[in-house]
Amino acid sequence: MTPYLISGMRRYLAGILIGFQLVLLTASAQTIPLHPVGPIPTPQQLAWQNLEFCLFVHFGPNTFTDLEWGKGTESDSVFNPTGLDCRQWCRIAQAAGARGIIITAKHHDGFCLWPSEFSTHTVRESPWVNGKGDVLRELSDACHEYGLKFGVYISPWDRNHPAYGTPEYNDVFVGMMKEIFSRYAPITELWWDGANGEGPNGKKQVYDFRRYENTIREISPQTVIFSDIGPDIRWVGNEDGIAGETNWNLLDTAGFGRGATAPPTDTLNRGNENGKYWIPAECDVSIRPGWFYHPREDSAVKSAGELMSIWVRSVGRGASLLLNVPPNRQGLISPQDSASLMQFKHLRDHFLGANLARGVPVPSGSEARTLSSSSLLNGNANTYWAPQDSAGLYGFQINLDSLTSLNTIVLKEYLPLGQRIQSFSLEFLQDGKWTPVASGTTVGHERIIQFNAVVSNKLQLTISESKSIPILSEIGVYNSYPEIRIPSNQQK
pLDDT tens per residue across span 38-75: 999 999 999 999 999 999 999 999 999 999 999 999 99
Domain-ending residue, one of 327, 351, 375: 351
- If we measure between CA atoms, which residue out of 224, 253, 182 comes closest to residue 54? 224
Q: What percent of the chain has pLDDT over 70?
A: 86
Task: For residues 191-203, give the mean pLDDT.
Answer: 95
Q: From CA 227, how far away is CA 468, in angstroms rounded?
A: 30
- Whether 289 and 428 share a structural domain: no
> Which neighbouring-strand residues pair with 450?
408
CATH number for 225: 3.20.20.80
Asked if pLDDT for residue 314 goes beyond 90, the answer is yes
Contact partners, residue 97, CB within 8 Å, separation at least 6: 53, 345, 348, 349
Q: Is residue 45 part of a domain?
A: no
482 — pLDDT class (breaks 50, 70, 90): low
- Whether 27 and 113 share a structural domain: no
- Whether 330 and 273 share a structural domain: yes
- Whether 388 and 403 share a structural domain: yes
492 — pLDDT class (breaks 50, 70, 90): low
pLDDT at residue number 22: 27
Domain-ending residue, one of 331, 351, 371: 351
Contact partners, residue 315, CB within 8 Å, separation at least 6: 52, 53, 321, 446, 448
3-state secondary structure of 141: helix
Contact partners, residue 14, CB within 8 Å, separation at least 6: 387, 393, 394, 395, 462, 463, 466, 469, 470
Q: What are the pLDDT digits (tens) for 320-356?
A: 999 999 999 999 999 999 999 999 999 999 998 888 8
- If we measure between CA atoms, which residue out of 332, 343, 342 comes closest to residue 298? 332
CATH number for 483: 2.60.120.260
Average pLDDT value for the chain: 88
Domain-ending residue, one of 300, 332, 351: 351
Q: Are residues 420 and 11 in contact, defined by beta-carbon separation less than 8 angstroms?
A: no
Weakest mean pLDDT among 21-25, 204-208, 279-283, 369-373: 21-25
- Whether 344 and 411 share a structural domain: no
Alpha-carbon dihedral of residues 150, 115, 197, 269, nearest 10 degrees? 0
Q: Are residues 242 and 323 in contact, defined by beta-carbon separation less than 8 angstroms?
A: no
Q: Is residue 245 part of a domain?
A: yes
Greater confidence, 480 or 173? Answer: 173
Q: From CA 66, how far away is CA 80, in angstroms rounded?
A: 14
Q: Are residues 142 and 87 in contact, defined by beta-carbon separation less than 8 angstroms?
A: yes
Q: Is residue 122 part of a domain?
A: yes
Q: What are the pLDDT digits (tens) for 296-309?
A: 999 999 999 999 99
- Whether 306 and 414 share a structural domain: no
Asked if pLDDT for residue 396 goes beyond 70, the answer is no
- Whether 14 and 63 share a structural domain: no
Give the helix/strand (H/E) hosting 106.
Answer: strand 100-106
- Whether 318 and 399 share a structural domain: no
Q: Is residue 47 part of a domain?
A: no
- Whether 482 and 336 share a structural domain: no
378 — pLDDT class (breaks 50, 70, 90): confident
Q: Is residue 451 part of a domain?
A: yes
- Whether 332 and 371 share a structural domain: no
Q: Is residue 376 part of a domain?
A: yes
Into how many domains does the chain fold? 2
Alpha-carbon dihedral of residues 174, 176, 182, 186, nearest 10 degrees? -90
Weakest mean pLDDT among 168-172, 238-242, 318-322, 471-475: 471-475
Q: Is residue 449 part of a domain?
A: yes
Which residue segment(s) compose the domain that 413 sits in? 4-40+357-490
pLDDT at residue number 358: 73
- Whether 403 and 422 share a structural domain: yes
Query: In whole angstroms, how far apart are CA 429 and each of 367, 421, 463?
Result: 24, 24, 17
- Whether 14 and 96 share a structural domain: no
Q: What percent of the chain has pLDDT over 90?
A: 75
Q: Is residue 206 part of a domain?
A: yes
Instruction: Indicate yes or no: pTM above 0.85.
Output: yes
pLDDT at residue number 445: 97
